[in-house]
């Protein structure tokens, strides 16, 4: 009967750590916003975390305007894919990344209140 040589525990831990790191790296790509197909020229709009997806049907006006608010993860891959599909179906879509917006707010309550009128 053949026996396998015992693997060092350090080797197994390193393999698991590499696997976990690889999975996290792949998942992090899902949460990173990709550039939207349109960038506005108005500086007031470019200062906000907005993603513009104009209708992809040039032969007709947009069916409707959709304002899409991301969640606490941000305007990530699934939201972007949905916005692209809606634009492909003839809708103008603007996505708002709430995570990026709230991350820019000041930490101090008093400073935030003076800037935003809380």
For the stretch 33-51, pLDDT in tens is 577 888 999 999 999 999 9
* Count of structural domains, the chain: 1
Q: Using DSSP bridges, classify how beta strands 92-96 and 65-69 pair: parallel, antiparallel or unpaired.
A: parallel
Question: Would the CA dihedral through 101, 107, 108, 109 be positive or negative?
Answer: positive
* Contact of 97 with 80, CB cutoff 8 Å: no
Q: What is the pLDDT of residues 47-76, one digit of tens each?
A: 999 999 999 998 999 999 999 998 888 888
Mean predicted lDDT score pLDDT of the chain? 82
Q: Is residue 26, in this structure, part of any structural domain at all?
A: no
Q: Which residue would you say has higher pLDDT here, 118 or 101?
A: 101
Model confidence band, residue 1 (pLDDT cutoffs 50, 70, 90): low
8 has a pLDDT exceeding 60: no
Q: How many whole angstroms separate alpha carbon 86 and alpha carbon 57?
A: 11
Q: What pTM, to 2 d.p., does this model score?
A: 0.64
**pLDDT in the model for residue 86:** 96
Helix pair 9-30, 77-88: axis angle to 10 deg: 30
Residue 65: which domain range? Answer: 33-116
What's the token pair of residue 92? 């103008």
Q: Is residue 27, in this structure, part of any structural domain at all?
A: no
Q: Is residue 21, in this structure, part of any structural domain at all?
A: no
Q: Is residue 38, in this structure, part of any structural domain at all?
A: yes
């Amino acid at each position: 009967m053949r026996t396998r040589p015992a693997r060092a525990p350090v080797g197994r831990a390193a393999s698991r750590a590499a696997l976990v790191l690889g999975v996290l790296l792949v998942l992090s790509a899902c949460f990173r916003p990709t550039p939207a197909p349109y960038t506005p020229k108005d500086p007031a709009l470019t200062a906000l975390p907005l993603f513009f997806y104009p209708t992809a049907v040039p032969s007709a006006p947009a069916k409707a305007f959709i304002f899409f608010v991301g969640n606490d993860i941000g305007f990530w891959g699934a939201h972007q894919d949905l916005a692209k599909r809606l634009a492909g179906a003839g809708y103008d879509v603007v996505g708002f990344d709430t995570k990026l917006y709230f991350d820019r707010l000041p930490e101090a309550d008093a400073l935030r209140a003076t800037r935003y009128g809380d």
